[in-house]
Amino acid sequence: MLDHIRIVLVNTTHPGNIGAVARAMKNMGLSDLVLVEPKVFPDEAATARASGATDILDNARVVGYLEDALDDCQLVVGTSARGRHIPWPVIDPRELAAIAAPVAGQSRVAILFGREDRGLTNDELHACHHHVHIPSVEGFSSLNIAAAVQVVCYELRMEALSSERSNRPQWGTDWDIELADHAELERMFAHLEQTLIDIDFLDPDNPRQLMPRLRRLFLRAVPDKVEVNVLRGILKSVNRSMVAKSRSDER
């Protein structure tokens, strides 16, 4: 997903900001950077501020027109520090991440960042599906451009990580132990039932819903093989102490 999201900087003035943007992107796993008519680039200040994200700068595409940055993108959003004349659908970075994630699975997403002094023009903003505003305080709403890129990329990364997590069952592929199979579980339930009868907890003539409830409890946990073995070990200990107790009672 993150490799389908492009950061587009429009007419950036300070090369140091471009370097800081590259760093922010690389920290969060993004790599596609397009620069529309940067004032100064490449430049030592950009390389210095990238501090190791020079691969992002080396691969950055410099274009003369905004369309060259956007033509192959299916979703285009513009970031803005303030409201504009014509209201547009305005979302925050978290909402952007939720909207962009499914799109970026297949298609390409572009996120535009404006000039340090004036932001994006109205025409540029009107090329966008959505406007993204980081909810900063009124009266001091404008972040440094690299800080704004950082906030947006962080939300995109969080969304990417959470969709990875939710696509995976909690006991999924990276579980260390193989899950118990049906036969092992049935043997455990039979063992548990017999033990509960032996200790007079379960009355076989009036079992009520005890076993279904216990089955539901254990099945909800999706036990693995080791966990089932531990439970059966506990039951065996109970069985042994029952036998020992009845022998001593006989004596």
Query: Is residue 47 at the binding interface for ligand SAH, with CB under 6 A as the rule?
Result: no
Residues 111, 91, 73, CA angle at the centre, nearest 5°?
A: 30
Q: With respect to ligand SAH, which residue has the nearer C-beta, 20 or 228?
A: 20
Residues 72, 76, 82, CA angle at the centre, nearest 5°?
A: 150
Minimum CB separation of residue 127 from ligand SAH in Å reads 14
Look-up of token digits 């990417």: 160
Query: Is residue 194 at the binding interface for ligand SAH, with CB under 6 A as the rule?
Result: no
Spell out, one character per residue from 62 to 81, where the chain touches ligand SAH: x when CB under 6 A holds, - when not.
-----------------xxx
Quick one: tokens of 243?
């036998």
Query: Is residue 145 at the binding interface for ligand SAH, with CB under 6 A as the rule?
Result: yes
Q: With respect to ligand SAH, which residue has the nearer C-beta, 108 or 131?
A: 131
One of 15, 19, 114, 223 touching ligand SAH (CB under 6 A): 114
Give the SS3 label for residue 132: strand
Which region, judged by CB under 6 A, interacts with ligand SAH, from 121-129, 132-140, 209-217, 218-226? 132-140
Q: With respect to ligand SAH, which residue has the nearer C-beta, 24 or 192?
A: 24
Alpha carbon of 49 to those of 18, 60, 116, 121: distances in Å? 8, 15, 16, 27
Alpha carbon of 63 to those of 9, 11, 103, 195, 228: distances in Å? 10, 10, 24, 75, 61
Contact set with ligand SAH (CB under 6 A): 79-82, 113-114, 116, 118-120, 132-134, 136, 141-143, 145, 148
